[in-house]
Structure 1
Amino acid sequence: MKKFVPFVSLLLLATFSLFIGVQSIPIQDIFQLSEMQSLVLWTTRVPRTISLIIAGATISVSGLIMQHLTQNKFVSPTTAGTMDSARLGMLVAMLFFPNGTILTKSIIAFIFAFLGTIVFIQLIRVLPGKNQLMVPLIGVMFGNIIGSIVIFFAYQYQLIQNMTSWLQGSFSTISKGNYELIYVTVPVLLICYMYAYQFTIVGMGEEFSISVGMNYRFVHLIGLLLISIASSVILVTIGGLPFLGVIIPNIVSMLLGDHMKETLWLTAITGSIFLVMADILSRVVYPPYEIPVSLIVGALGSIIFVILLVKGAKR
């Protein structure tokens, strides 16, 4: 019975999300909507809610996988330079392929996200004296270096305004016809679930994985590819959402442990619930204006992240 609680909670929040916004759509009028209300509902509210659910699940699961691959609870695409590397890819796409499609930009962002993640993995392997707190700090510094490069060249080529949407996550511009790329992450999530057992074994270390007959490097590569695809698609369609990939997997693991086959589904749903709640809050805090959801997620996430760091330091 308890397993249905997250599903019901997400369903209720998603339904609530459809009726919150500048354009009033009373839930009691759902079967007799005006032409304007119907247009708003199906053109913006439904795509927005779907994007929130998929993005929350994708980012949280990506964080969960990265934590297993690096054997560190505080690593995620936003603290490992993955998202910043994808932004660098977006800048390259805008400079060399200014008329490229969103798919072209996503592919370039994916390539840079993948390469950046590999650099981070190699970096933490060669640095001596690494610990649970040092690894994410290295990732943040690595990401900041890449981010500084992106901002520098964006200013140099007068692209800073175009880059803003990929520096700050927001769902206010999501509408029918410009968000469908996010569906690419659905099969990625399914593949993640298929490899959940293997990722759990990889999280126990290379020596253990090889001892049980697993191809450690192959599974590790699959994980990095999945994370890079998910991160680049989310960045192109939504933007950056800090801390989400760190805090949700940690909260779920405290409840259910570290076996991905048991925690992946709840991690995905919890991430969706958290992001939908943050988006609803971004719409009601200062109506009729919207606060970028990345600010809400960043504010709440940073507090939880600090608590997790303090608990990690005490262990």
Structure 2
Amino acid sequence: MKTAPPAASPKLSRTRRPGRLFDWKLLVGIAVVAALLVLSLTTGVYDVFGAEGGGEMFAITRIPRTIALVLAGAAMAMSGLIMQLLTQNRFVEPTTTGTTEWAGLGLLTVMILIPGASIGTRMFGAVVAAFIGTMVFFLFLRRVTLRSSLIVPIVGIMLGAVVSAVSTFIALQTDMLQNLGVWFAGSFTSVLRGQYEMLWIVALVAVAVFVIADRFTVAGLGQEISTNVGLNYNRVILLGTSLIAIATGVVTVVVGNLPFLGLIVPNIVSMLRGDDLRSNLPWVCLLGIGIVTVCDLIGRTIIMPFEVPVSLILGVVGAAVFILLLLRQRRRG
């Protein structure tokens, strides 16, 4: 299999040396994110500290929701980091390559074929479809010569739009259009005890990524260099695609669509710290958690007692950052 030509991808290498894995700045970041999570636990319409049954409500809703914020935010930010590294392109992540739309199509297919499917079965369908969609995108990059890296995310968005249109048509024909809208809302409102536990799978994905981070870093240099140093490039690509699919599929089923999170976070971390995956991974996960928590807090309080889906806040912020990154890349040529 041929790799995409260097002209189709922006340079990922930086002159900045990678920072240490743990330092005092990371500890400060952990403290800030921990404060946001405490704020998440105490924010809501229901008075969990003074009302009758507040303790039970706290355990049923607030704790699961906060844990879901941590796992989903870290998973999607990490998925974007891996995808950008393997494609050598700053502008790709699960929502700009169609991976999320494919996961939704897989979820819809399972719900049609098996109406009473368990959450595990639904996740399996979403993960398989997300894997297929990500591989389709990777194969497209290898087969088609793109002169500009700016075209890559546009192509991914177009592919995602086609898949989304297919999902909408199927949902319309099967009277599941409303369910499809709920799945893609990207909200933590429905996260309750007993319905979010499968999200812990992404914690295992994060551990796996950290263990094989060096292989992903080498693979990010391209197939020729990876092969010369003895790395099985295609196997690493397959493994990375599998991990991205698992994380995206699980988050899509439990939470929904979290647009642009995997785009914003890796770019910010990379601009500040360089491109070493292993040393950047804690920062990427931490910043992903922080951003999704802030957006969720805004969504909970902006029109209280009602809630705005976190995907709406993320979409506005992410779209603005995406445009700024495109303009920055265009200026750099």
C-alpha contact (below 8 Å) 1:154/1:163 kept by paired residues:
yes
C-alpha contact (below 8 Å) 2:146/2:152 kept by paired residues:
no
Give, in angstroms, the shift of residue 34 of structure 1: 4.7
C-alpha contact (below 8 Å) 2:86/2:220 kept by paired residues:
yes
Q: 2:10 matched to which residue of 1? A: none
Give, in angstroms, the shift of residue 165 of structure 1: 2.0
Once residues 30 and 211 of structure 2 are traced to their aligned partners in structure 1, the CA distance between those partners, rounded to angstroms, is: 21
33, 42, 57: which is aligned to 1:19?
A: 42
Q: 1:110 matched to which residue of 2? A: 127
Once residues 214 and 125 of structure 1 are traced to their aligned partners in structure 2, the CA distance between those partners, rounded to angstroms, is: 19
1:68-126 alpha-carbon deviations (Å, 9 max, x no partner): 11110100011111111111101110111111111011111111111111111111222
Q: Which amino acid is 2:262 matched to? A: G
Once residues 143 and 224 of structure 1 are traced to their aligned partners in structure 2, the CA distance between those partners, rounded to angstroms, is: 17
For residues 95-134 of structure 1, the aligned pairs below 5 Å read: 95-134=112-151
1:162-217 alpha-carbon deviations (Å, 9 max, x no partner): 11222110001111011111011110010011111111111111101111111111
140, 155, 163: which is aligned to 1:146?
A: 163
Q: 2:246 matched to which residue of 1? A: 229
Q: 1:213 matched to which residue of 2? A: 230
Q: 1:54 matched to which residue of 2? A: 71
User: Is 1:4 equivalent to 2:20 in the alignment?
Assistant: no
Which runs of 5 or more residues in structure 1 are unaligned?
A: none
Once residues 189 and 234 of structure 1 are traced to their aligned partners in structure 2, the CA distance between those partners, rounded to angstroms, is: 13
Report the aligned-residue RMSD.
1.0
Once residues 129 and 80 of structure 1 are traced to their aligned partners in structure 2, the CA distance between those partners, rounded to angstroms, is: 15
Once residues 283 and 95 of structure 1 are traced to their aligned partners in structure 2, the CA distance between those partners, rounded to angstroms, is: 32
C-alpha contact (below 8 Å) 1:202/1:219 kept by paired residues:
yes
Q: 2:198 matched to which residue of 1? A: 181
Q: 2:98 matched to which residue of 1? A: 81
Give, in angstroms, the shift of residue 262 of structure 1: 1.1
Q: 1:254 matched to which residue of 2? A: 271
What is the DSSP-based 3-state SS (H/G/I as helix, E as strand, rest coil) of the residue aligned with 2:187? Answer: coil
Give, in angstroms, the shift of residue 40 of structure 1: 1.8
C-alpha contact (below 8 Å) 1:58/1:185 kept by paired residues:
yes
Once residues 129 and 113 of structure 1 are traced to their aligned partners in structure 2, the CA distance between those partners, rounded to angstroms, is: 23
Once residues 101 and 193 of structure 2 are traced to their aligned partners in structure 1, the CA distance between those partners, rounded to angstroms, is: 27
For residues 232-247 of structure 1, the aligned pairs below 5 Å read: 232-247=249-264
Once residues 167 and 291 of structure 2 are traced to their aligned partners in structure 1, the CA distance between those partners, rounded to angstroms, is: 29
1:229-261 alpha-carbon deviations (Å, 9 max, x no partner): 000000000000100010100000001101101
Once residues 106 and 19 of structure 1 are traced to their aligned partners in structure 2, the CA distance between those partners, rounded to angstroms, is: 30
Which runs of 5 or more residues in structure 2 are unaligned?
A: 1-23
Superposition TM-score, scaled by structure 2 size: 0.91
Once residues 26 and 112 of structure 2 are traced to their aligned partners in structure 1, the CA distance between those partners, rounded to angstroms, is: 48
C-alpha contact (below 8 Å) 1:124/1:130 kept by paired residues:
no
Q: 2:4 matched to which residue of 1? A: none
273, 276, 281: which is aligned to 2:290?
A: 273
Give, in angstroms, the shift of residue 310 of structure 1: 0.8
Q: 2:19 matched to which residue of 1? A: none
Tell me the number of residue pairs that the alignment of Structure 1 and Structure 2 aligns. Answer: 309
